[in-house]
Structure 1
């Protein structure tokens, strides 16, 4: 597998994979690793400093910060994974159908996507959560509604690139059913791009989930969640600024790892792609048939 061999040589990608794996395992084994119950309060121990009993101290209610941080992985990562799985499933199905069948089906789906994409994603998410109320399910639903149209259009574009390839045309001439062609010829070709899209956008989803919880529109108390921990810490930002560091750094490092991994996967899936710097910014150049297209 040449793609995996190239990925193994990328130290940043390997470090990102290991870091995300450790974070995921820490969330799965939170009941074992957490020194305390994340919802237990002890007013007598509020704002306790770092100690063996409380490795990261306690918050305004005397709850263990480390325990809430570990259990918060479950909430944040679960919501992000579910959001990406549902969004990618809808976008992949509709994108394959639109790109393969074309005609009226493609036209109708693209017009619906145009309507959905006319609304800014953040505004739509705030509107949906504001109408339906806070909660994990509503957050996931809002993020799916905001992104499925974008994924449908992107995957449709990828499908259009492969529909005229000889192997696909031969399968059509040979009498292969549309389902067979989609499953055996088109989906394997776009699976790499789907993985890149999902990895890069997972960080965006985590930021949205945390931002909604920070604004009080996300997960309800006392469920531990990184954005909610930041919301609670902001009230004592002047007197106890260190309380913002654990959830803030957790969000920062996880999003960075996802973005680095997504960039590495993008280069693996497109070997001719190289990274260029222009005016201090990062731009990816895709070279196809001696022509470059910058995104």
Structure 2
């Protein structure tokens, strides 16, 4: 199984390309702020709206701030926000899905009706409502995006647990008197990890895009914080005279989303048991 997975990963172009993109973004977010010579919030009105040059590779904004520096700091904020929101979604959704699948009919019915109610609302609209009620801040964006995303994990985990909880290895554990908590931790969760990992990887790109959208509408990061959505919002009025103000963060968002989508699609193929079996037959 391990060698088969290694073969699929090694041959899967999407995993390699998506992985390189994600690693490059993470490296920029971690190392970039340490090497850039500019302050992302320091204003220099004498250098406002300068085009790309050797001193400012991506130009400057309306307040004379270096766009490349703000883009680097924005990568740190966007990736951190996406990771936190996705982790909260994953933990809440997994817990609810496991309880629904193993807690009996009453718990299953109650929790799944809650999931249905949450899924009945368009995700972005619900996030707008939550962020609008809580007020504009990055913390409230994380809360809003977590509230609208956990139900998908709950439904996925519940279905996966129901599919395996009556298999022989789980029944044997029950016959030996293994506590439910240990059965969940040692037998159920490890066997539902693959689809959850794929969903989480795909969600990372979605969360980056949604967070940028909320910041663009004024509900996320507030000036002078360097965040991609806020950079697009501040630069949109200079679309004709200084297009680099929205091109740079727009391309950064697109590349990030593409990277996570490629990585998620590749992992889905690599972690598909049928796909792995086929690879093992071809490469024994």
TM (norm. structure 2) is 0.93
Bigger drift between 202-211 and 241-250 goes to: 241-250
Residue 223 of structure 2 corresponds to 221
Distance in 2 (CA, whole Å) between partners of 1:141 and 1:132 is 9
Write the mapping of 1:134-153 to structure 2, written as runs, cut at 5 A. Answer: 134-153=136-155
Residue 197 of structure 1 corresponds to 199
Deviations 1:86-143 (A, max 9, x none): 1101111111121122321111111211222221111110101111111011101011
* 1:263 shift after superposition: 0.6
| Residue pair 2:17, 2:262 contacting (<8 A) in 1 also | no
Distance in 1 (CA, whole Å) between partners of 2:210 and 2:267 is 23
Residue 130 of structure 1 corresponds to 132
| Residue pair 2:47, 2:60 contacting (<8 A) in 1 also | yes
Deviations 1:169-212 (A, max 9, x none): 11111111101110110111011111001011111111100011
Write the mapping of 1:1-295 to structure 2, written as runs, cut at 5 A. Answer: 1=2, 2-272=4-274
| Residue pair 2:45, 2:64 contacting (<8 A) in 1 also | yes
Distance in 2 (CA, whole Å) between partners of 1:15 and 1:269 is 17
Distance in 1 (CA, whole Å) between partners of 2:35 and 2:248 is 16
| Residue pair 2:100, 2:111 contacting (<8 A) in 1 also | yes
Q: What value does the CA root-mean-square deviation take over the aligned residues?
A: 1.4
* 1:272 shift after superposition: 3.2
Distance in 2 (CA, whole Å) between partners of 1:118 and 1:32 is 44
Q: Secondary structure at the match of 1:31?
A: helix
* 1:8 shift after superposition: 1.7
| Residue pair 1:88, 1:151 contacting (<8 A) in 2 also | yes
Deviations 1:127-173 (A, max 9, x none): 01111111011101011111112211111011111111110111111
Residue 293 of structure 1 corresponds to none
| Residue pair 2:58, 2:244 contacting (<8 A) in 1 also | no
Distance in 2 (CA, whole Å) between partners of 1:17 and 1:119 is 33
Residue 290 of structure 1 corresponds to none
| Residue pair 2:82, 2:207 contacting (<8 A) in 1 also | yes
Distance in 2 (CA, whole Å) between partners of 1:242 and 1:42 is 18
Higher relative contact order structure (alpha carbons within 8 Å, sequence separation ≥ 6): 2
Normalized per residue, the structure richer in strand is 1
| Residue pair 1:35, 1:53 contacting (<8 A) in 2 also | no
User: How many residues of Structure 1 are paired with residues of Structure 2 in the alignment?
Assistant: 274
| Residue pair 1:28, 1:74 contacting (<8 A) in 2 also | yes
Distance in 1 (CA, whole Å) between partners of 2:104 and 2:95 is 14
Distance in 1 (CA, whole Å) between partners of 2:82 and 2:204 is 6
TM (norm. structure 1) is 0.90
Deviations 1:32-74 (A, max 9, x none): 2323010011000001122222111100100000000000011
Distance in 2 (CA, whole Å) between partners of 1:82 and 1:93 is 17
